[in-house]
Amino acid sequence: MASIVKIAIAQINCVVGDLAGNANKILGYCERARAAGADVILTPELALCGYPPEDLLLRGGFYRDCNAALERLAREVSGITLVVGHPHEDQGKRHNAASVVKDRRVVETYYKHVLPNYTVFDEERYFVPGDFPCVFQVGETRFGVNICEDTWGPQGPLTTRPDAVRIGINICADAWEAKAPQAAREAGAQVLLVLNASPYHMRKQESRYDVMRERVIETGMALVYANMVGGQDELVFDGASFALDRRGEVVCQLPVFEETLEFVTVADGEPQRGGIAEQASLEAEVYKALCLGVRDYVGKNGFPGALVGLSGGVDSALTLCIACDALGPERVRAVMMPSQYTSRMSLEDSRELAKNLKVRYDEIPIGPAFDAFLGLLAKEFGRRPADATEENLQARIRGTLLMALSNKFGAIVLTTGNKSEMAVGYATLYGDMAGGFAVIKDILKTLVYRLCRHRNGMDRVIPERVLTRAPSAELKANQTDQDSLPPYDVLDAIVSAYMENDLSPAEMVARGFRTEDVRRVVEMIHRSEYKRRQAPIGIRITHRGFGKDWRYPITSRYREPYE
């Protein structure tokens, strides 16, 4: 007779620090899973406290409160085995942990072996790695527990000295990485349960599949992968949890960017085929990520709504669409602030966009304020010719007006600058950079257009002229972006090569980029670092954004050769 175990994957959206709320959510999912006949329920990494808690993990009281929340959770769980992620302090050492809760008590606790310390991850700052496997049995099936990074990297024999971990030596990646799955296998596990808080970036799921298939093939164990969903500051988690059978085939796939509960039936250690969510296009996936990032940032931080300054251009149009789709148009306000340089086309297109989205729209001309500032500065400026100073002054007047509305009504200002502009500093400090959350901060200009086309494919709300006209800041007569920047296809390619993929200037030139273009863009990237440090955080959708995983000095004279 086959040994059958029903596993529930709880793909949940947790809030960092909301221990009671997260515990209640987990309990609710436990009840739903138990009512559906599940034997085991698997939650994401650090689900009890939310991920990433960052420097909350340096506070002793945080661990005590997390432990109290875990004890309370354990007392209320019955009729199902829960695997829950949480931080844990043991004899003065702090761990990224997962506990197995059964019959109203914690029966096993596992400590994450491999602590990632790259891109957005800083776990070596907070935790000590574990050095022992965790295997528990339900019915006749034995389950191993791993946490996220434990399963990444090449597999190999268990040659690491366990005492090195116990005495506090940091284990380098090639000495320990991905030994945890093999350790679980050697301890008798048949199925590997992996708790994850794996943030989204484009094409991330492909790499997850590739790596997890390697672990399955190397160990001979099937694998169930539960990932967190939701926005947390600049990170957004896509969920996309799944199960692989012992051949590495996907037998269950959960949807992206949605909280959900899905079930996998395991018969004699082999997951059976279940629900397979439809795969979305790249543009649809990114758009969902941006909507979820806005919804959670605004909602989790208690803002009543959002403000967007419209310009008639493509960036503000996309930002307004995302805000309306994320929050509902009734919680969004669009403000157009025309100057003498604002074209009739921009006014007409902004009005049409707001009408199509059914969002409140107001116009506040900045001409009187601009004239007043010029009058105040006339003596100081003397006969000096107009330059970028007057352009930036207009942007700063608009930023001041938006922030005044934000202060008065409580709504957060969503800035509209894209990654191409942020890279080269084509933005005004305290002007169009003023705000609380930068929605498209990690979206290159060329992708902005693709996302607008995608949104119009859902419902044609963005006027066609917005997508076909030459982009312009409209801060002086007859201005276009290309007066100051290379063409966006060239600019974006160089930004992606240098900033996202770490190619040197010489390597880019060798690949066919013009030396003068590379030099110009790279110099602008470094000169603009001081601006980016003062910019609001924004949603990360690439494997390297201007934020947690870009940490360059502002004051630096280092420059790489171009030949």
Q: Which residues are catalytic?
A: 45, 112, 148
Residues in the chain: 563
Strands (E), 302-438: 306-310, 332-336, 360-363, 412-415, 437-438
Q: Which helix (H) or strand (E) holds 8?
A: strand 4-11
Spacing of C-alpha 126 from chain mean position: 21
343, 340, 346: which is closest to 390 by C-alpha? Answer: 340
Is 395 within 8 Å of 428 (Cβ atoms)? yes
Amino acid making up residue 355? K
Is 86 within 8 Å of 51 (Cβ atoms)? no
Cα dihedral: 148, 153, 159, 162 (round 10)? -30
Measured CA to CA, the distance from residue 409 to residue 553 in angstroms comes to 37
239 DSSP 8-state letter: B
Cis bond leading into 487, ω under 30°? no
Question: Residue 487 corresponds to which tokens in the numbers above?
Answer: 């063409």
Residue 111, CA distances (Å) to 115, 131, 230, 232, 280 in order? 10, 7, 24, 24, 35
Measured CA to CA, the distance from residue 225 to residue 252 in angstroms comes to 10
Is 247 within 8 Å of 265 (Cβ atoms)? no
Question: Residue 429 corresponds to which tokens in the numbers above?
Answer: 């400090």
Measured CA to CA, the distance from residue 51 to residue 40 in angstroms comes to 22
